[in-house]
Amino acid sequence: MCGIVGIVSQQPVNQAIYDALTVLQHRGQDAAGIATDANGTLCTRKSNGLVRDVFHQRHMLRLRGNMGIGHVRYPTAGWSSSSEAQPFYVNSPYGICLAHNGNLTNADELKRVLINEDRRHLNTGSDTEALLNVFADELQNQDSNHLTPEAVFAAIRKVHERCHGGYAVVALILGHGIVAFRDPHGIRPVCIGKRETDAGTDYMAASESVALDGAGFELDRDILPGEGVYIRQDGQVFSERCSEKAAYTPCIFEHVYFARPDSIIDSISVYKARLRMGTSLADKILREHPHHDIDVVIPIPDSSRTSALEVAHQLRVKYREGFVKNRYIGRTFIMPGQEMRKKSVRSKLNAIDLEFAGKAVLLVDDSIVRGTTSKQIIEMAREAGARRVYFASASPPVRYPNVYGIDMPAASELVAANRTDEEVGRFIGADWLVYQDLADLIASVSHDNADIDGFDASCFSGEYVTGDVTATYLARLERERSDLAKAQRENLRRRLEGDPDELMEGDDSRDVGPQAGAA
């Protein structure tokens, strides 16, 4: 999962892009990058690290111009290296920088065609570089002496024909403008906002509406599935649906975990969706444990707070903050390796003993993916003196790989993949465990104002909305994107680059190279 932003303004955009990326930092903590257009001259800065660490004053001063794009990244595969930090750039045609959120399910095939037939050079294993070269190749093929909206939309139409999977894209075409588009199913989010100034109207495209809010932009609308939006540097906006109509099925996990609660995605309030998740979860707890002895409901910060608050309200028991979070530790779920996730949990959370001592505690989390974090948190609750520890997940069991850009691709690493709910409960050490039902989750996220056909809930249901995910593809993901495979690639990178840091655990191979990577 990544965060993207693009701005066309009547004034310098470097600070506005920086601020937007800071707001979107929860979507990726591995690397960050900004590219701006200073009267046709490309200005870039990208590197590994958090936004605040990548950009210093000297970098910001060099990011000149009134339009640009930005990206925050976490890798689902590939190298954890600044070479795969985005945006990516090609000089022909026009000079294009591109950043993307998502994952292409036919990336390997695309790369073969790009190299062997289109004669384009690829320097990394990133899906983003492949997508950029497809867009550049198709734009090059348009019969036009100068860049027109029609040429841009024709190129996007070809991208949709050639690229499969979930993706949201912002691209900077030097000397011309910003392009934003979304996959034909609308799996990955991107919205458009505008800001009125004395000099004219500024436009921003971003992964979440909360990025618009922080920069003083007003949410205009979500980009539709398959739609392309072209914002010229003079402020003119063009849009066109560039694919055959497919089912509008955005990713439901955005509402479960990734998105900030103050965001509006596909006309759905993330905050209200999580409140409704809490209501339905409480109903199930009352059905399964009508005579419960729960003394207190405690959320596992941060994204479960909203649901946990509603669970406590419906159960008519106390809601308390029992864990204090270290704000300077990244989100555990999106750390690049299992060993790093394990080591971070106790440095990330600390229990307040008086909220646990002698009590029957219900812990509420947004989801259970690998289960190791949940297990450690339950151990912490018992060490703090809890008499009993119950656990509730605001989402259903994660039993299947996600292939559209979320880092849960290896089925063998999912705690619920081959276990019953009761077995998962025993594994994590809970006295009992309650999962949200999938139908209730979908009902919680659905909203009358959202003109959607359903959701991609493949990690819960095993049903992939693009229809091209085969058992062979999933088996390859298992080999390439497990934590072991990531550790092996990262250790190889460190050896090749002479990195003196300690090697990651779990490296039993000396013959592993970079694989296809998602944005």
Pairing label, strands 191-197, 227-232: unpaired
Q: CA 65 → CA 37, 217, 411, distances in Å?
A: 5, 19, 45
Q: Are the beta carbons of 104 and 97 closer than 8 angstroms?
A: no
> What b/e string do you get for 476-485 counting C-beta neighbours within 10 Å, with b at 16 or more?
ebbebbbbbb
Using CA atoms, how far apart are residues 405 and 301, in angstroms rounded to an integer?
Answer: 23
Instruction: Cite the DSSP H helix spans in 69-196.
Output: 107-116, 127-140, 149-162
Using CA atoms, how far apart are residues 163 and 106, in angstroms rounded to an integer?
Answer: 7
How many CA atoms within 13 Å lie on the side-chain side of 352?
12
Contacts of 306 (CB under 8 A, 6+ apart): 261, 271, 274, 275, 277, 278
What the block records as the tokens of 500 is 């003196």
How many CA atoms within 13 Å lie on the side-chain side of 280?
20
Four-CA torsion 481, 169, 28, 193, nearest 10 degrees? -160
How many CA atoms within 13 Å lie on the side-chain side of 402?
26
The identity of residue 495, as a single letter, is R
Radius of gyration of the chain (CA): 23
Quick one: which of 76, 124, 75, 1 has its CA closest to 477? 76
> Whole-angstrom distance between the N-terminal and C-terminal Cα of the chain?
7
**DSSP symbol at 33:** E
Count the neighbouring beta carbons within 10 Å of the beta carbon of residue 326: 11
What the block records as the tokens of 307 is 């649901």
**Active-site pick, 2, 97, 191, 459:** 2
Burial of residue 98 (number of CB atoms within 10 Å: 0-12, 13-18, 19+): buried
- 242 part of the active site: no
Q: Are the beta carbons of 318 and 353 closer than 8 angstroms?
A: no
Using CA atoms, how far apart are residues 386 and 389, in angstroms rounded to an integer?
Answer: 7
Q: Are the beta carbons of 392 and 434 closer than 8 angstroms?
A: yes
The region, left, alpha or beta by phi > 0 then psi within -120 to 50, assigned to residue 462 is: left
Four-CA torsion 236, 242, 248, 252, nearest 10 degrees? -70
Bond before 302 cis per omega within 30 degrees: yes
Quick one: which of 420, 327, 335 has its CA closest to 373? 335
Query: Catalytic positions, please?
Result: 2
